[in-house]
Amino acid sequence: MSNQFSQLPLTPALLEALDNQQFKTMTEIQQKALPDILSEKDVLGQAKTGSGKTLTFALGLLQKTDTSSFGVQSLVLCPTRELAEQVAEEIRKLGKRMPNLKVLTLYGGTAIGPQIQSLQHSAHVIVGTPGRIMDLIDKGHLNLWHVKTLVLDEADRMLDMGFEEEMTTVIREVPQERQTLLFSATFPESIKRISQDIQRSPVEVTVTTTHDNKKIEQTFFEVQKEHKTKATAAVLSEYQPESCIIFCNTKVACQELADDLREMGFSAIALHGDLEQKERNQVIARFSNQSELIMVATDVASRGLDIDGVSLVINYQVAMESEAHIHRIGRTGRADSEGVAVTLAAPEEIHFVRAIEELQQQKAKWKGIQALRFHANRIIEPKYQTVAIDAGKKNKLRPGDILGALTQDADIPGDDIGKIKITATHSFVAVKVRSVKRTLNYFKEGKIKGRRCKARRLA
């Protein structure tokens, strides 16, 4: 079969959207799954982040969406708010040429009132997290009686995060006569069981799960558990990464390591499940805009984040599942940039390394930790700091509005403004350290789009 999108039986609106976004050839998952999805078969797909799976199911559900008929026609369940937003955005881009298409995101950690108001006008496609969708069903604000396509994205992570009960409750509200697309990075028994319960003779599609190891330099160090923090500091001062994600297996280890590294002078911040949504947004914004160079994270908390170009990944604790190791190191060496992954293995973790070797079909490259020394004078300081502004999408604020105000009105050099991230209620701006004070001073009197905004530095 041809690997060109143009050979698929897609609507002209979708083909035009693909063409406008420069999508010509299909990825492996798209080539294997789309013919069956477009034939309205159930599909059980094993694919990791970055494989093109979102585009795969988005095309499938949009192909049979009737925008002249209101009522929820497709439901996509995701493990996290960030993934839900990314998926919804991709569906909106693909459906740009479909008149009056409405895609709605529903997730927890934010006020339920505005979501209830949005539902009064209904939507064609809903993307959200199981917990919030179940709440809205229970309160009588959401019905799924007309759903034709049900998608479970990153189903293994929804189970890891304890969403099985909510998933089951929501799925019971969807008609049995439907198409069900289930995507998961791994196929544990729990996923196979759910597939048997909710899918009808699904077509199984698997894509290569191992990362292109040629682009990742992997090194393993054997380190006693009590020496791992010092070893991590030594690795950081040796490699001097511009951006680094350190993975831990528990929330406690994650927070303790981030605190210890900060005390040692590193720019480090923690991301784990105990953070409130507001704190989580701030952590992600600060790391992605380079005002924090090191993010210490758990696997569950980091899943679904659109963060790439990381120059170093450190496994502070060895992943207990080999597939999780693949996901971790997949954060580095993306596109054509070479990445580096370092794993610190205590003697009691060596059996996990053996399982990784088996999955990757190559021997681990070991080095002696005595070759590394911590040098405080080699700690890299971030070039940026994050300024948070109390206005966002609800105030019709766009990145250009912020950039214009700071460069034209506040006379801050354009090169001193980094990434600008706008959420519903806040905006996060990366500003070079030398211009942070001037930026904050501007907001004491200055305006954006005729409106006074409060601003503060995040630290």
Pick left, alpha or beta for residue 309 (phi over 0 → left; psi -120 to 50 → alpha; otherwise beta): left
pLDDT greater than 80 at residue 58 = yes
pLDDT greater than 70 at residue 409 = yes
What is the average per-residue pLDDT within 133-158? 94
Question: Which of the listed residues 346, 378, 410 is the one where a domain comes to its end?
Answer: 378
Position 259 confidence tier, pLDDT thresholds 50, 70, 90: very high
pTM confidence score: 0.62
| The predicted structure's pLDDT at residue 238 | 93
| The predicted structure's pLDDT at residue 210 | 46
Q: Are residues 180 and 239 in the same domain?
A: no
| Greatest mean pLDDT among 39-53, 153-167, 253-267 | 253-267
pLDDT greater than 90 at residue 160 = no
| Average pLDDT, rounded, for the chain | 90
| The predicted structure's pLDDT at residue 307 | 74
Position 308 confidence tier, pLDDT thresholds 50, 70, 90: low
Question: Which of the listed residues 206, 239, 259 is the one where a domain comes to its end?
Answer: 206
Q: Are residues 194 and 217 in the same domain?
A: no
pLDDT greater than 60 at residue 195 = yes
Domain count across the chain: 3
Q: Are residues 150 and 31 in the same domain?
A: yes
CB 336 within 8 A of CB 309: no
Q: Are residues 82 and 186 in the same domain?
A: yes
Q: Are residues 10 and 147 in the same domain?
A: yes
How far is residue 316's CA from residue 295's CA, in Å, rounded to a whole number? 12
Q: CATH number of the domain that 450 lies in?
A: 3.30.70.330
Q: Are residues 109 and 175 in the same domain?
A: yes
Position 56 confidence tier, pLDDT thresholds 50, 70, 90: very high
pLDDT digits (tens, 9 = 90+) for 74-94: 999 998 888 899 999 999 999
Q: Are residues 310 and 343 in the same domain?
A: yes
pLDDT digits (tens, 9 = 90+) for 337-346: 678 999 999 9
HSE-CB of 48 using CA atoms within 13 angstroms: 15
| The predicted structure's pLDDT at residue 1 | 58
Position 51 confidence tier, pLDDT thresholds 50, 70, 90: confident
Q: Are residues 149 and 191 in the same domain?
A: yes
pLDDT greater than 90 at residue 230 = yes
pLDDT greater than 90 at residue 305 = no
Position 68 confidence tier, pLDDT thresholds 50, 70, 90: very high
| The predicted structure's pLDDT at residue 330 | 83
| The predicted structure's pLDDT at residue 337 | 62
Question: Which of the listed residues 206, 232, 258 is the one where a domain comes to its end?
Answer: 206
Position 211 confidence tier, pLDDT thresholds 50, 70, 90: very low
Q: Are residues 282 and 170 in the same domain?
A: no
**Look-up of token digits 């034209």:** 408
Position 304 confidence tier, pLDDT thresholds 50, 70, 90: low
pLDDT digits (tens, 9 = 90+) for 111-125: 899 999 999 988 999
Position 208 confidence tier, pLDDT thresholds 50, 70, 90: low
Distance of CA 167 to the CA centre of its chain: 20
The 384-389 sheet, strands edge to edge:
417-422, 427-432, 384-389, 455-458
Comparing 150 with 21, the larger pLDDT belongs to 150
Q: Are residues 263 and 325 in the same domain?
A: yes
Q: Are residues 29 and 51 in the same domain?
A: yes
Choose the weakest-confidence range: 29-38, 283-292, 295-304, 426-435: 295-304
Q: Are residues 187 and 135 in the same domain?
A: yes
What is the average per-residue pLDDT within 178-200? 91
Q: CATH number of the domain that 147 lies in?
A: 3.40.50.300
Domain limits at 10?
5-206
